[in-house]
Amino acid sequence: GDAALRRALYAHVLNVQGRCLYDLILYRLHESPEEEPHILLECDSSVLDAIQKHLKLYKIRRKVNIAPCLDLSLWAVVPGEQAGDTGGSLAQCADQALILTPDPRTEVMGWRLITKKGVNLSAIIPESHIGNIQDYHRHRYKQGIPEGVEDLPPGVALPLESNLAYMNGISFTKGCYIGQELTARTHHMGVIRKRLLPVHFSAPLPKNSIPVGAEILTESGKSAGKFRAGSGELGIALLRLANTNEPLCLNIAGDKVKLTASIPEWWPKTAGK
């Protein structure tokens, strides 16, 4: 596809060893290639300063301004339960906002909306109602969409295991980039044995009750993967694809907690083999 024409792009910043550092969504503000490029970056707010510093390290003499946009608000417009929620009616609202565009990662994440702070949303999207941010995160975990440094720990997560390719976040035909050696080699060798998958616990768990990287086991006690992050009875875990259809469990402070994994509906149909 023609990346230059798209309004939003999903991407990861990698380190030289090929591990994820930051996940980003880029939004194009300029309308044509003749205009000066003007791009918005969406990132985890807890690493805003680190990302700016990182970008400035590579800027050197180039004439690029990098600055936080504290006067803007970012919204996720997630499809409602009722039938008839279509993107078509949303597209008509686009000129009321700075950005209103489908989430570049996957259709199940709906649309992304960027407005100036304080704008009345029902003026932009009629018949919408403002939801709870926790519902947004639960929706992500249900679908297995990682976002931010908790889901993608910098220096730990691997892009292909994090489903970067399924989320349209990588090009295997572009030129040099940092972390290319491991990423391109893994892709061309063709075998990715573990991926981030949505998991469902038998009962909701209190926040922070699961230690970071807690081992997930099969019923026979073999290692199936590691827990990454979650909310209530939902979460995402890095699991061996070979073990996704079995009953699994976690040990928390001596107690055994059962969980099941599932293959997200939005993955390509050939995936999960």
Closest CB to another protein among 144 and 179?
A: 179
CB of 17 to another protein, least distance (A): 9
Closest CB to another protein among 5 and 57?
A: 57
* Residue 62 exposed, middle or buried by CB count within 10 Å (0-12, 13-18, 19+): exposed
In terms of residues, how long is the chain?
273
CB of 27 to another protein, least distance (A): 22
**252-257 own/partner pairs: CB under 8 Å, 24+ apart:** 252/205, 252/209, 252/210, 252/211, 252/214, 257/201, 257/202, 257/203, 257/205
Closest CB to another protein among 41 and 178?
A: 178
List the structure tokens of 214: 């807690």
Closest CB to another protein among 56 and 258?
A: 56
CB of 61 to another protein, least distance (A): 5
**C-alpha angle with apex 26: 50 to 182, nearest 5 degrees?**
70
CB of 49 to another protein, least distance (A): 17
CB atoms within 10 A of CB 86: 9
Strand order in the sheet with 99-102: 72-77, 111-116, 99-102
List the structure tokens of 140: 């992500």
CB of 63 to another protein, least distance (A): 8
Interface positions with another protein (CB under 8 A): 16, 57-62, 175-178, 180-181, 184-185
Closest CB to another protein among 59 and 116?
A: 59
